[in-house]
Amino acid sequence: MVRHVLSDFDLTRDEVWEILRLSKEMKDNPHKYVRALEAKTLIMLFQLPSLRTRVSFETAMTQLGGHAIYYQIGEGFTRGETLKDGVKTLSRYGDAMMVRVLSQEVLEEIARHSSIPVINGMTMRFHPCQNLGDLLTIWEKKGRLEGLKVAYVGDGGCNTAHSTLIGCSSIGMDVTVVCPEDPKYMPDPKIVDEARRRALGRIEVVHDPIEGVRDADVVYTDVWISAGMEAEARERLRVFPPYQVNRELLSHAKPDCIVMHCLPAHRGQEITDDVIDGPNSVVFDQAENRLHAQKGLLLWLLGGI
């Protein structure tokens, strides 16, 4: 049976730990793995461009001795070819596919027709590769994951918020999503319910920013206007300013809290310069760990680990 990673729900707690330990081992001893995926090919399908997703996956395959091919699918394949036929063809050429599309439903259709593993490189609903990099970062910085509190501040209904509340709570962290009291800015209730069934830690949704970040070990934010939400820009810029991660808000978290952002950052909107460039920030270590966590995921899927 082909193993796909289409959302954070597709990985068990034990599997996440396997990937994290493997990622850390490869980060610490990269030369041991330079031929680990020799002659393997990752096909990368992109509807939307991305600095970190493309470069980190392509670098990961190169450092493991394999190869990555970038293909921009736009609204579909060339000359009107159906998604089904394009995916079936690509399955004969590569060993895995990483797909970055807006629609989770399109991703799942790709997986249905693929005979090779499909990895969610981002949809509007989930961002599991980001969460693996985030968990690796928190583990490195704090020395543990269980029992820590992460406060996710901003748009609680976005992909990163969903993946944070699923992935962090399932590993034993307490997750507080801090967002406006409006259903369109809150996590999907079905995702919250399913995450709570798997969780070892608590999941809360609160609307007071100060209360939400109180005693947090990790303060996490993301852009207020995600891909696909450009038409809502004016309204979002009106609603979200109380949820800006600035020095005053950070003062209510633990003094040694770490600040995370999955990037790209809109400085002066969701986060201020003095925070993202400040002593609590681990944002660029976090960006680096996308590479290492994806190497762990790729080797776990393709290397017989």
Q: Give how far Cα 63 sits from Cα of 33, 40, 51, 227, Å.
A: 8, 12, 18, 29
pLDDT digits (tens, 9 = 90+) for 239-269: 999 999 999 999 999 999 999 999 999 999 9
- Domain regions of the chain by residue span: 8-127+290-302, 130-286
- Nearest by Cα to 137 from 171, 187, 97: 171
Average pLDDT of the residues in 154-172: 98
Q: Domain 8-127+290-302's class?
A: alpha beta
> What is the identity of the amino acid at 91?
S
- Report the pLDDT value the prediction gives residue 297, as an integer from 0 to 100: 98
The residues with which 259 forms a beta bridge, in sequence order, are 219, 281
- Report the pLDDT value the prediction gives residue 303, as an integer from 0 to 100: 86
- Report the pLDDT value the prediction gives residue 305, as an integer from 0 to 100: 53
- Report the pLDDT value the prediction gives residue 77, as an integer from 0 to 100: 81
Those residues whose C-beta lies under 8 Å from the C-beta of residue 247, and which sit 6 or more positions away, are 272, 274, 275, 278
- Report the pLDDT value the prediction gives residue 301, as an integer from 0 to 100: 97
- Report the pLDDT value the prediction gives residue 3, as an integer from 0 to 100: 97
Q: Say whether 105 sits in a helix, a strand or coil.
A: helix
Q: Are 5 and 297 in contact (CB under 8 A)?
A: yes
Q: What is the DSSP letter of 74?
A: T
pLDDT digits (tens, 9 = 90+) for 77-114: 877 899 999 999 999 999 999 999 999 999 999 999 99
pLDDT digits (tens, 9 = 90+) for 258-298: 999 999 999 999 999 999 999 999 999 999 999 999 999 99
Task: For the chain, give the percent of residues with pLDDT over 90.
Answer: 93
Main-chain dihedrals φ then ψ at residue 146, nearest 5 degrees:
-60, 135
- Report the pLDDT value the prediction gives residue 105, as an integer from 0 to 100: 97
Q: Are 49 and 58 in contact (CB under 8 A)?
A: no
Q: Are 244 and 269 in contact (CB under 8 A)?
A: yes
Q: Do the domains 130-286 and 8-127+290-302 match in fold? A: yes
Look up the pTM and report it: 0.97
Alpha-carbon dihedral sign for residues 100, 294, 135, 220: negative
Task: Name which residue leads in pLDDT, 77 or 15.
Answer: 15
pLDDT digits (tens, 9 = 90+) for 24-68: 999 999 999 999 999 999 999 999 889 999 999 999 999 999 999
130-286 folds as Rossmann fold (3.40.50)
Those residues whose C-beta lies under 8 Å from the C-beta of residue 177, and which sit 6 or more positions away, are 152, 156, 161, 164, 165, 186, 187, 203, 204, 205, 206, 212
Rounded to an integer, what distance in angstroms lies between the CA atom of residue 189 and that of residue 218?
23
The yes-or-no verdict on residue 76 having pLDDT over 90 is no
The yes-or-no verdict on residue 144 having pLDDT over 80 is yes
- Nearest by Cα to 203 from 220, 189, 224: 189
The yes-or-no verdict on residue 228 having pLDDT over 90 is no
